[in-house]
């Protein structure tokens, strides 16, 4: 796997490069601003992009805007965005195209090396990964009243990127129960029959939009 990193913090970018190298993941290049990210993706055609939400010059949303730009230019390109704080509007924007292969993690998650690398690979494989802290804040906000407690629990784990098999293990329930809960969620959220992975992304997006 080859990745492009957009991060202006030299210590973090160097740490990411070293960490990924030990896991057999090649860092094609490291850039420090949004326009350079767009150029780097065009030049290196990476398998995944890791981008800080806030990049120079204003340190507001240049990183996520550049990530969205490369997704428009290269639909479905896996993008993992890192943020210092929970900013759910950015999570919503990343999910809005419905293609999946996106992740939104807080920066302190990088220090949990095993989980971080698992999340990165999940995004690269087309999955969706949301930081547990983002989900916790969203769940605390209420909404989606038609869902049962268990369905909300399943949906929150789907937002974290868990597969059906992982849901079985996490919740200690059967495969049939997982399918039943997910089917109920899709029905209650009014999601039409389509590709299962795409509907999962739509379910998470609906979850975000109702908070």
Please say which residue of 111, 131, 151 terminates a domain. Answer: 131
Partner residues linked to 129 by β-bridges:
103
Q: Which pLDDT does position 8 carry in this prediction?
A: 93
Same domain, 101 and 164: no
Same domain, 151 and 178: yes
Closest CA relative to residue 179, chosen from 191, 198, 163: 163
Residue 193, domain CATH:
1.10.10.10
Query: How confident is the model over 125-173, as pLDDT tens digits?
Result: 988 888 877 666 655 554 567 788 899 889 888 877 788 899 999 999 9
Q: Are strands 79-83 and 48-52 parallel, antiparallel or unpaired?
A: parallel
Q: Which pLDDT does position 137 carry in this prediction?
A: 61
Radius of gyration from C-alpha coordinates of the chain: 17
Task: Quote the number of domains for the chain.
Answer: 2
Q: Which pLDDT does position 158 carry in this prediction?
A: 83
Same domain, 147 and 199: yes
Residue 195: inside a domain: yes
Residue 10: inside a domain: yes
Same domain, 85 and 145: no
DSSP 8-state secondary structure symbol assigned to residue 69? H
Same domain, 96 and 198: no
Structural domain boundaries, residue 91? 2-131
- Which residue positions in the chain have pLDDT lower than 50? 142, 195, 211
Same domain, 203 and 105: no
Please say which residue of 71, 101, 131 terminates a domain. Answer: 131
């Amino acid at each position: 796997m080859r990745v492009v990193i957009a991060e202006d913090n030299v210590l973090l970018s160097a740490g990411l490069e070293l960490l990924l190298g030990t896991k057999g993941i090649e860092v094609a290049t490291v850039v420090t601003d949004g326009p350079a990210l767009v150029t780097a993706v065009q030049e290196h055609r990476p398998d995944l992009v890791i981008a800080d939400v806030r990049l120079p010059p204003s340190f507001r949303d240049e990183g996520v805007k550049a990530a969205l730009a490369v997704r428009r230019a290269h639909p479905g390109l896996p993008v993992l965005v890192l943020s210092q704080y929970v900013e759910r509007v950015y999570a919503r924007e990343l999910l809005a195209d419905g293609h999946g292969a996106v992740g939104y993690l807080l920066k302190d998650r990088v220090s949990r090396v095993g989980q971080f690398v698992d999340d990165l690979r999940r995004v690269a494989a087309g999955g969706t990964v949301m930081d547990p802290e983002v989900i916790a804040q969203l769940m605390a906000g209420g909404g989606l009243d038609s869902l049962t407690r268990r369905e909300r629990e399943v949906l929150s784990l789907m937002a974290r990127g868990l597969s059906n098999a992982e849901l079985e293990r996490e919740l200690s329930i059967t495969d049939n129960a997982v399918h039943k809960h997910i089917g109920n969620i899709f029905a209650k959220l009014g999601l039409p029959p389509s590709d299962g992975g795409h509907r999962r992304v739509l379910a998470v997006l609906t979850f975000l939009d109702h908070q």
